[in-house]
Chain A
Amino acid sequence: AQSVTQPDIHITVSEGASLELRCNYSYGATPYLFWYVQSPGQGLQLLLKYFSGDTLVQGIKGFEAEFKRSQSSFNLRKPSVHWSDAAEYFCAVGARGNTGKLIFGQGTTLQVKP
């Protein structure tokens, strides 16, 4: 069965420090991969997505993610975190075929210390 695991429920980093949020997936083939961000009480905003090609993808707000097929991972990174990055982050996978059905991880809440 398809699944997405975000091992870290809660992460705290200092402002200016680097960030890596982990995402592992289980899927029979290479899925579509997404990272979304959610501010409290709001909807989800797409940070970046991967379908094929270059395994390092760049997104908005200075985020990037790297697809590693051998590890079934799609970790999100940012070199220097800003206080405004505090939010909840979701990794999601979508089946090939462009149906739009997404499976989400449990989410990682990021807290930024001043």
Chain B
Amino acid sequence: DGGITQSPKYLFRKEGQNVTLSCEQNLNHDAMYWYRQDPGQGLRLIYYSQIVNDFQKGDIAEGYSVSREKKESFPLTVTSAQKNPTAFYLCASWDRADTEAFFGQGTRLTVV
């Protein structure tokens, strides 16, 4: 089945450590996105990529980094510079033909 796979589902990080969240899609979509979800704030865009080897900052990119070396993969690194990283992170891809976003199941990151 086609879809978006995020791993791990739960992730714990000590303060001062970088951590990388995985996002893989087999939908053959060019565009991919990372959102952060906090209670009562909806989803906020962190980074997005319209094509391989290119990506742009979203509204809350500070403290995060991404890469897009392959069409299928769009990993997100939460760096130690991110002041409040505990959140639910959602990856999505965009189907230009159907004008629709498809979401992964999310990764819950907790800083301990």
Contacts and interface: CB of A to CB of B under 8 A. Distances in A.
Nearest to B3: A43
A41 B39 CA distance: 12
A67 B105 CA distance: 29
A42 B106 contact: yes
Contact of A100 (B33, B88, B105, B106): B33
A103 B4 CA distance: 20
Given A98-B96, A101-B48, A106 B42 contact: yes
Contacts, number: 64
Interface of B: 4, 6, 31, 33, 35, 40-45, 48, 50, 58, 88, 90, 92, 94, 96, 99-101, 103-106, 108
A105 B99 contact: no
A41 B106 contact: yes
Contacts of A98: 96, 99
Given A41-B108, A100-B31, A100-B94, A46 B101 contact: yes
A88 to B, nearest CB: 10
Nearest to A105: B42
A99 interface: yes
Given A41-B108, A44-B103, A100 B48 contact: yes
B40 A32 contact: no
12 contacts: A32-B99, A41-B88, A42-B106, A43-B105, A44-B101, A46-B101, A98-B96, A100-B31, A100-B94, A100-B101, A101-B45, A101-B58
